[in-house]
Every structure is written in structure tokens, then in C-alpha cells.
Amino acid sequence: MAISTDLTHEVVGDAAPPKNGTEAMKHPLDPLSAAELEAAVRILAREEHLGDGVRIVSINLTEPAKILVEKYRPGNLFERKALAVLVDRAKRASYEVLLDLADNRLASVKQLPAGVQPSIMLDEFSECEAAVRRSPLFQAQLSKRGLENAQLVMVEPWSAGMYGTELPEDGGLRRMRALCFVRSEEKDNGYARPLDSMVIVVDLYKMEVIRIEDYEIAPLPPESGNWAREYIPNMRKDLKPVDIVQPEGPSFTVDGNEVQWQKWKFRVGFTSREGLVLHTIGYNDDGVERPILYRASICEMVVPYGDPGEQYYRKNAFDIGEYGLGMLANSLALGCDCLGVIYYFDFPLVDSRGKITPLKNVVCLHEEDFGILWKHTDWRTGQSEVRRSRRLSVSFIATVGNYEYGFYWYFYQDGSIQCEIKLTGIMNTTALAPGKTSAYGVEVAPQLNAPFHQHIFAARLVTSVDGPNNSVYEVNSVGVPTGASNPHGNAFVAEETLLATEKEAQRRVNTDTARFWRVVNPSKKNRLGRPVGYRLVPGENCPPFVQPDAKIMRRAGFTSNHVWVTPYDPQQRFAAGEYPNQHPTGDGLPFWTQANRKVDDTEVSLWYVFAHNHVPRPEDWPVMPVGMLGFQFRPDGFFERSPAMDVPPPPAKTCCH
């Protein structure tokens, strides 16, 4: 058997794989441990699935069936299964290998259909860049442009996608398209000088340049755009320290991956694709554990760029499905990324050669003071009460090439959950000839154009509002026409409409009707006679601005609606399907929902798609100050009254009362 040497080197260590995954792990939903990942790599090697040309795209836990998780009690034995996705470069084939870690055996192997390309591996970025650098074609193109120092040319591989405009020579290949930027010295910000007169198409099977597409040469923009501290000579000097002090420690407890805070309880998970995943979110309501969400993650995202230029129209990165946010997660730093008393979760990841790396401090858990929770003053009696809001923040940050994405989930004392995404990092740029502007972007520095683009995210919420079977209603507020029932013209109503089938449940936000959605448990009524529910409250959002027949919409069709509801299916887990990379026709929500299944009073996945429309500003350059968007999931008839009344007032010494 041909095992690559680095693999043998990395997996043969002191740590013996666990005989049974349950020994090392505490709960069926715990992500794979380092020992389990090592065991998985060993099984793959033993069963001769790791030859020289074989690379590991990912190995993740195969989550047990929901019913098994719900029946699980501490001490029970449970299954540990893992799905390994492999690419065999020599055979130009990809595989899904199911591993049974508890039995230390390979359970099944499935070759993926021809043309399916699993997501891009981290190693492929550097290997692709190296392949470009050693290509004589690349050297020739640089000479043509008078660029003598190739080391200062930054090569940035992008997913190639599939647009129906590929050349015959591209057929059947695993590809990337590399863009180039020029640094003026080693640590210069390359994005200040885009060399967008060429795009390099690379065959990732052979790691060879296929061709270099040659476009009109625009001169490099004149200014640098540096951001590192050594380039900022005059920092402001009037900032006094802020310390977050919790002398008695935080109010949360962590047991393995289970978190308890105030009345909340949930599990923290992590996958190489989604990064942070939250499981079994529930609320202790006067001694009763009430489930709310079975699973919550940001499962897909796409960033379509709006410039129709030949070298630009393929810029549409699916940062989750094509790259994997877990693989790109940062190790967070106390005092910088996170302030206060922090609990960090570490999760191990496996690289394409089977080397297991601990990802330290990848998920950050901490409490924050969040202004006031509620307040009232009675001017007649002089009574005044105010409560401070404390929220629990669970987050991670991924760096995807030029951009940073922070993913934050907040839990509040009033029973609300919020998802917030923070966008920062460096905008992708193109060059402008002197005196020219672009209709499809904004000049953010002299001769430097930042194209219009959107960041579109899909959240998948497997709801379990007070039990497994849920229904989703849309609520629209509308004015009643002036007439017999509304003689004074002031009447308006909130109309509830059941979304009973997958087709009825394809919806968009509408500020004209203050639209929101209410997820209810039809078999649980509150004391006022209505089914208990949670409300999905949209935040910033907009439609996609690409045309419905745009080539990218074959793969990004999930962006055509803001809300989708599907019957819960553990196999239907990513909005653009399992393998959006180079998918010729697309997959995911628009395809699954053609079955028009019933989604009323059943186990459902609620998909919320939300977009930040980025019309760049000069102030977004060189590093964009954080922009935020997201949504809330707030109780709506779930509790009998405000669940926040029992939050005590601030200690007397800190409060003027």
C-alpha cells in the first residue's frame, strides 16, 4: 500500500486510538476528538484509501439520528461515526467514506459522480500558488508587464465555479482561478495594487497552470494601503484603559461541550465546514427544560460580485461550501478578540495529508453587559426599577483570503437568541486607468476600484419549539381600508398565514408589512389559548441583485428567497447542496423544495437567508471597520409573561438608588 511519507510520519504517534469512541467523548454530538481523527486516518490508511495522490478534504462527525440524541441519557453507549471526504488526484475521483469509530472499521465507500468536486483544501491554496510561481507562462506574463520581482506578486487562488463558459480543456478538471496583486515590498498590502489584467487557470489534479487569460493592462494604482501597526506612525494617545472585571468569575458553567448560563442550556459543536454549530438549545422555565432549537448554524454563504467584466464575472465565492469556515478559523487572543472572563473551546482539525492540528481558542464564550434590559419609573409613586441586560456571547472568526467574518450567537435573559455576523478585513479590488471610473464599483483610493458585491448568508435552524413538531406562520401587518369597519382610517391588523408546504414557505422580507415569521408548536397552547411560539425577526436584508437567469444563480439559487421551510432531513444540511464547488447545475434548497413536501406540524428546518449589500466607501479602505447584520429568534407566546422580571437589580454599590 502506498501511503505518503508525511502521513505515516504524522499519524504514528504515542496516542493510541480509543477502542470505543464513547470512552473519550461525553455526548453523541461532541465533535471528533484528536484521538478519533487519528483513528479515522488510521482506518483510511489500513484500508488502503490513502495512496500518494489521495488527499483528505474533511473528516467530520456524522451526527447520530435526532431520535437517538433525544433519547440519550448520560452513561448510555452511543455511536461514533465519521464521514471522510477524499480526492484522489491520480484517478481524478472523489469519495465519501463512512467510518465507524466505535468499531474501528470502515463502514462504506461511495465514489462521487464524475464532475462532483468537494470543497477546496487549505493546502491547495499554497500548492496552487507554488504551481503558478514555477510556471514559465507566469514568468512570461510578468516580463510582458515589466514586473521583474516575481516574489512580490501575490497570487490569490479563487474557486473556479462552473458557468457553462469553460473551455474544452477545462473539462473534468478540478480547477482554481488565481488573481494577482503586486506588493511594493515584502509586507506591503497587495490588495492596493491589483494586477487584474491576467487570470491564471490552474489544474489542481496535476498542480499545473492550464493557461493564463490575458486582459487589457491597467496601470497599478499609485498609493499603498498598509494597515499593520508599523505603517501607522501617529496613533491617537487619549484612550484610557477599560477593564472588564468579574471578581467572582463568570455566571456560566461548561461541562465538556455543554454550556449552562442563567436558564439556558446548549451544546457547542464545530465542523470543518460551518465552524461553530449550536446543538440542543433549551430554556429552563421554572424547572421544566423546554427545547427551542435542535441545531443552529450558518450553513452556507456566497459573495457575488457585480462587475460583468470577463475577468470578474466568476468572482462568486461560496466561503462555506467551497472553502470551509472551520478550516479557516482564527485562534483567538484574550484582550484583543475577546474581553473579560473568557472560556475558549479548542477543536482539532485534520489537514489534507492526515495531520491533526489542535485549533486552540477557536470558539470564544463570555458574558457581556448589554445596556438596559427593562426599566420603568412611576412619577406618581416614585417607584423606579431598572435592570441591566447580561448576554452570553458564543463566537468564532474566520479569515477567508482578504475578508474576515465574525460569527456571534447571543443569548439573552428575556429568552431571545440573536445571530450577528461581523464583516471586516480588506475589500477585493480592481485597478482603474487614470481618470476612469467603473459603473460597477466605487473608487476607494486613487485608481483603486472596489466592486459592488453582496455577502449573502444562510442560517439553518432545526427548530424544536417546545417539542419536535412545529409549524411556521408568516405575520404581515396591514392597514384596513377606510370604510364601515374602519370609519376613522386608523385600523391595522397583523395577519397570520400558515406556510403549509415547501412552495408556500418560500418567502422574502417585506418592510411594507413589517413581516416576520412565527414558529409554533401546534400541540402546545399557552395559557391564553394560542400555540406557543418563537418569532424569527429579520435584520438588514435585501434581494440578490444578479438576474434570476444569471449563471451564478444555478448554484446560488438559495439566495432567491429569504425564508425557506423544509421537512427536517439530516441529509439536506447545506443551502447550496453538499458540493457547490464546480457544480454544473446546482443543488440544495431550490431543488429539494420542488417536491413541495408538507411542512405543517412536523419536524422542520427553517432556513433564513440574509444579505449585506456592500456598496463600498473610501472609509472601508484599507481595512473595513466592522459592519454587522443578522437576525433574532425571540419568544412569542412561549412564556406566560416577560421571563426577565426575576433578574435582580444591580448591586447597590454600583447603582445610585
Catalytic residues: 319, 403
Would you say 81 or 614 has its CB closer to Ni ion?
614
Q: Which residues bind Ni ion (CB under 5 A)?
A: 614
Q: How far apart are CA 271 and CA 349, in angstroms?
A: 9
Q: Measured at CB, which residue is nearest to Ni ion? A: 614
Would you say 415 or 451 has its CB closer to Ni ion?
451
Q: How far apart are CA 147 and CA 76, in angstroms?
A: 65
Residue 363 near residue 378, CB atoms below 8 Å: no
Would you say 27 or 614 has its CB closer to Ni ion?
614
Nearest distance, CB of residue 99 and Ni ion, angstroms: 38
Q: Which amino acid is at 409?
A: W
Grid coordinates belonging to 484 = 364601515
* Three-state SS sequence of 340-369: CCCEEEEEEEECCCCCEEEEEEEEEEEEEE
Q: How far apart are CA 647 and CA 386, in angstroms?
A: 10
Here the contacts of 152-155 (C-beta below 8 Å, separation 24 or greater) are 152/182, 152/183, 152/184, 152/185, 152/186, 152/188, 153/180, 153/181, 153/182, 153/183, 153/195, 154/180, 154/181, 154/182, 154/183, 154/190, 155/128, 155/129, 155/179, 155/180, 155/200
DSSP assignment string, 60-99:
EEEPPPHHHHHH--TT-----EEEEEEEETTTTEEEEEEE
Q: How far apart are CA 319 and CA 324, in angstroms?
A: 6
Would you say 387 or 614 has its CB closer to Ni ion?
614
Grid coordinates belonging to 89 = 488526484
Residue 186 Cα distances to 151, 180, 183, 190, angstroms: 8, 15, 7, 9
Would you say 355 or 614 has its CB closer to Ni ion?
614
Would you say 353 or 614 has its CB closer to Ni ion?
614
Q: What is the DSSP letter of 152?
A: G
Would you say 175 or 614 has its CB closer to Ni ion?
614
Residue 640 near residue 605, CB atoms below 8 Å: no
Nearest distance, CB of residue 455 and Ni ion, angstroms: 6
Residue 613 near residue 442, CB atoms below 8 Å: no
Residue 566 Cα distances to 460, 589, 593, 609, 633, angstroms: 10, 8, 7, 14, 18
Q: What is the DSSP letter of 305?
A: B
Nearest distance, CB of residue 614 and Ni ion, angstroms: 3
Q: What is the DSSP letter of 470?
A: B
Residue 361 near residue 346, CB atoms below 8 Å: yes
Q: How far apart are CA 157 and CA 553, in angstroms?
A: 22
Nearest distance, CB of residue 461 and Ni ion, angstroms: 25
Grid coordinates belonging to 531 = 400555540
Name the E strands within 262-383.
264-271, 275-285, 288-304, 316-317, 343-350, 356-377
Q: How far apart are CA 398 and CA 405, in angstroms?
A: 5
Nearest distance, CB of residue 195 and Ni ion, angstroms: 21
Would you say 273 or 614 has its CB closer to Ni ion?
614
Q: How far apart are CA 65 and CA 29, in angstroms?
A: 10
Residue 20 Cα distances to 39, 209, 212, 422, angstroms: 10, 45, 51, 40
Q: Where are the alpha helices (DSSP H) in 64-217?
A: 66-71, 122-133, 136-144
Nearest distance, CB of residue 276 and Ni ion, angstroms: 21
Residue 400 near residue 427, CB atoms below 8 Å: no
